[in-house]
Structure 1
Amino acid sequence: MREELTRSCCAWALILVVLAPATEAWRSFKVILTDVDFEANDKIVDIDVSLQNESGDSKLSIIIKTFEDIEDVQLVVDVGLETDKGNFSTLINRTLNFCKLLKQRNSDPLVRGIYEDLLKHGNLFKECPIRSGTYSLSNYKVDEEMLPSFLPEAKFRFGLVILKPKSGMIVRSTIHGRIDKSKGFDNLKRFSLG
């Protein structure tokens, strides 16, 4: 009896070990990027952006060439969900000192978490001043696990302005996308009540 119980427990443990990584791949939704618009101050930076949408995955790649050292950098972050066609309701609107964000680990945990996720996919700025050179982000895919599970199925806009406080805009970009719950495990549309 004891030997049978041990075999049964080992079998369940093996099933959990084998299936646990597969269950982490299921998301309650997918983030699909649909468009990237940007404008860069060509005296300070040159930017090349590409967006690929293949088999339900959106991957963003960026190459940034800075022509000068940049001492002080501010970020203006704006995130909105579409409420009516073409109209967005702002969820987040923040102005941050990027250099402070890099130096102080406890400053703005949300933006810092997103930036640390970006760092896993390329060689981006890790200190201030930002030195002249080439930086990149390769095949970045949004980690849906970092986002709150209660996000509605909707279109969204992510706006980012990078600027030097005394000299003006360095980069202005807007990323459009949608949150698609039909791709998730728990939220298949066939089970939808509405």
Structure 2
Amino acid sequence: MREVFTRSCCALGIVLAVLIPMTGAWRSFKVILTDIDFEANDKIVNLTVDLQNDAGDSKLSVDIKVFEDIEDVQLTVDVGLETDKGNYSTLINRTLNFCKLLKLRNSDPLLRGIYEDLLKHGNLFKECPIRRGTFSLSHYKVDEELLPSFLPEAKFRFGLLITRSKNERILRAVVYGRIDKSKGFDNLKRFSMG
């Protein structure tokens, strides 16, 4: 009896070990980027942005030409959810030294994870000072696995401000989008259960 119980527990443990990672790997939402507003300091950088939305997939491509080496880069990130039409409630607002983010692996886990995901889709800055040259991001699609599974269906704003010493603006960008759950697991459950 004890041997049968032990085998059953082992079999259940193996099934759970295999299935639990798979259930956590699927998100019940899509991130759809709807618009990008940006301005770059044309004495320092030239920026070309292309946003494509095909069949519910948003893909972002960016070409960056840096005209001079840039030291002491500050990064300000602002994330907000739309509460009323056109009004956003700020969820995250932080400023950090971009060079420190690149050098120290544990400096900001969330932003570091997002930046490492961006690096997989192009040749972006990997060291400071940022060297003169051409950089790009090609057909980037937001990896929903990096985001918490409990995100609400909502419109959002992602603001980015990049400056250098004496608050000289290099780049300001605002990405607008929405969290879409219409094709997610909850919707599938409703149709299958009647």
* TM-score normalised over the length of structure 1: 0.84
- Give the match's secondary structure for 1:183: coil
- Give 1:145's aligned residue: 145
* Count of aligned residue pairs for this structure pair: 175
Deviation per CA, 1:84-117: give whole Å up to 9, x if none: 1111010000001000000000101000000000
**Preserved contact between residue 77 and residue 159 of structure 2 (Cα < 8 Å):** yes
1:106 and 1:183 map into 2 onto residues whose CA distance is 35
Structure 1 residue aligned with 2:87: 87
**Using a 3 Å threshold, how does the CA distance of structure 1 residues 60 and 45 change in structure 2: closer, same or farther?**
same
**Mapping for residues 13-52 of structure 1, pairs under 5 Å:** 26-52=26-52
Q: Once the two structures are superposed, what CA deviation does each residue of 1:6-57 show, in whole Å capped at 9, x if it has no partner?
A: xxx9xxx9xx89xx98x78842100000000000000000000000000110
Paired with 1:81 and 1:169, the residues of 2 have a C-alpha distance of 25
Aligned equivalent of 2:187: 188
Amino acid at match of 2:187: L
Question: 1:155, CA displacement in angstroms?
Answer: 0.1
Alignment match, 1:171: 171
Letter matched to residue 68 of structure 1: E
After TM superposition, what 4+ stretches of structure 1 lie above 6 angstroms from structure 2? none
Work out the CA distance in 2 between the residues paired with 1:25 and 1:54.
Answer: 23
Ranges in structure 1 where 5+ consecutive residues have no aligned partner: 1-8
Q: Secondary structure at the match of 1:152?
A: coil
Match of 1:65 in 2: 65
Q: Which SS does the other structure have where 2:160 is aligned?
A: strand
Distance 2:26 2:110 in 1: 23
Normalising by structure 2, report the TM-score. Answer: 0.84
Aligned equivalent of 1:98: 98
Task: Provide the aligned C-alpha RMSD in A.
Answer: 2.2
**What is residue 123 of structure 1 aligned with on the other side?**
123
User: Matched residues, percent identical?
Assistant: 75
Q: CA deviation at 1:191?
A: 3.1
TM-superposed deviation, 1:177: 0.2
The question of whether the paired residues in 1 share the 8 Å contact of 2:40 and 2:46 is answered with yes
Q: Any conservation in 1 of the 2:26–2:145 contact (CA below 8 Å)? A: no
Residue 184 (structure 1) shift: 1.4
Per-residue CA deviations over 1:101-148 (Å, capped at 9, x if unaligned) read: 000001010000000000000000000000000000000000001100
Secondary structure of 2:78's match?
strand
Q: Does the aligned pair in 2 maintain the 1:43–1:67 contact within 8 Å?
A: yes
